[in-house]
């Protein structure tokens, strides 16, 4: 019913948020799993540094992350310009940029969840698979990954929820263009800046709360289901 009463630009904001968060999670997840595995299983010079860099978006002011993205991937920045000429990829002031910003902000949360579940796996099971003739990559795919699945699912959903709520980095990097880069949080922000905006803002706030809670419930439920399946 709330959905019915939304204006077209509010529906756009909702859909952009969902789309950006979905792709942020989809593309972020494989990298997050890889980095979580490296951090959990290997000790090397630079281990601490990698860990700090991965966690940086969690502690930096989001506006700093957004500004750094603008400096590196903006259209006038060398890397951003190069990406556009070589592959036609543009991030600045597009919804793809919102997805990138959200993905980077959600990344540390996904890595943490996956890393914890990888660290909980008995490495002796992986050794045992090696002695049976499995190549280490195969061991990772058939032993490590399935056993880490509860953490991966929980991390992905948590990351999705975090991406959905991303505001500071997104608005700094891709601005707040209705129909293009305006996400749910930035639409709420816009309403709070205009007279009589409280009603519409509250409507969007309720949607945000419902989606976030649903994501958290889903995360818990999925993790439980996968866990019971693995144990039984």
Partner 1 sequence: MKGLEIAVTHTIGSFSLSLEFRSSAHLLAVGGPSGSGKTTLVNMISGLITPHSGMIRINGATVFDSDKKINIPVHKRRIGYVFQDGRLFPHLNVRSNLLYGKWFARKDSAIEFETVVKFLGLESLLSRGTAQLSGGERQRVAIGRALLSAPELLLMDEPLASLDQARKNDILPYIERLRDEIKIPIVYVSHNAQEIHRLADEILMLKDGTVESISANDKS
Identify which of residues 58 and 147 has a Cβ nearer to partner 1 in the complex: 147
Q: For residues 134 and 205, which CB has a smaller minimum distance to partner 1 in the complex?
A: 134
Site residue total, partner 1 (CB under 8 A):
21
CB of 159 to partner 1, least distance (A): 23
Contact between 7 and partner 1 by CB under 8 A: the answer reads no
Q: Cβ atoms within 10 A of the Cβ of 196, count?
A: 8
Residue ranges in 130-149 that form contacts with partner 1 under rule CB under 8 A = 130-136, 139, 142-143, 146-147
User: Residue 85 or 232: which CB sits closer to partner 1?
Assistant: 232
- 89-128 residues in contact with partner 1 (CB under 8 A) are 122, 124-125, 127-128
> Which of 54, 111, 129, 164 touches partner 1 (CB under 8 A)?
129
- For partner 1, give the closer residue by CB, 150 or 200: 150
What is the smallest separation between the CB atom of 126 and partner 1, expressed in angstroms? Answer: 10
**Is there a contact between 50 and 35 (Cβ–Cβ < 8 Å)?**
yes
Q: Find all residues with CB under 8 Å of 198, minimum gap 6, and list them.
A: 191, 192
Q: In terms of CB distance, is 24 or 114 closer to partner 1?
A: 114
Site residues for partner 1, 19-38, by CB under 8 A, read none
Q: Which two tokens stand for residue 217?
A: 């419930």
Chain contacts with partner 1 (rule: CB under 8 A):
122, 124-125, 127-136, 139, 142-143, 146-147, 230-232
């Amino acid at each position: 019913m709330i959905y019915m009463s939304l204006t077209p630009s509010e529906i756009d904001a909702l859909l952009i948020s969902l789309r950006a968060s979905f792709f942020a999670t989809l593309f972020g997840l494989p990298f997050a799993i890889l980095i979580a595995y490296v951090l959990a299983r290997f000790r090397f010079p630079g281990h601490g540094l990698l860990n700090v860099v991965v966690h940086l978006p969690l502690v930096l002011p989001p506006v700093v992350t957004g500004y750094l993205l603008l400096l590196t991937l903006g259209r006038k920045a060398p890397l951003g310009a190069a990406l556009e000429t070589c592959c036609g990829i543009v991030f600045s002031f597009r919804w793809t940029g919102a997805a990138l910003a959200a993905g980077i902000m959600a990344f540390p949360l996904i890595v943490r969840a996956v890393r914890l579940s990888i660290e909980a796996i008995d490495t002796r099971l992986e050794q045992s698979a090696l002695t049976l003739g499995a190549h280490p990559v195969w061991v990772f795919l058939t032993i490590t990954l399935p056993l880490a699945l509860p953490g991966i699912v929980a991390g992905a959903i948590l990351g999705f929820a975090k991406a959905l709520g991303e505001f500071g980095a997104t608005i700094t990097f891709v601005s707040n263009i209705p129909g293009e880069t305006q996400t749910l949080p930035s639409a709420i922000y816009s309403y709070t800046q205009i007279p009589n905006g409280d009603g519409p803002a509250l409507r969007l706030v309720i949607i945000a709360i419902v989606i976030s809670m649903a994501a958290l419930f889903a995360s818990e439920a999925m993790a439980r289901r996968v866990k019971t399946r693995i144990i039984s």
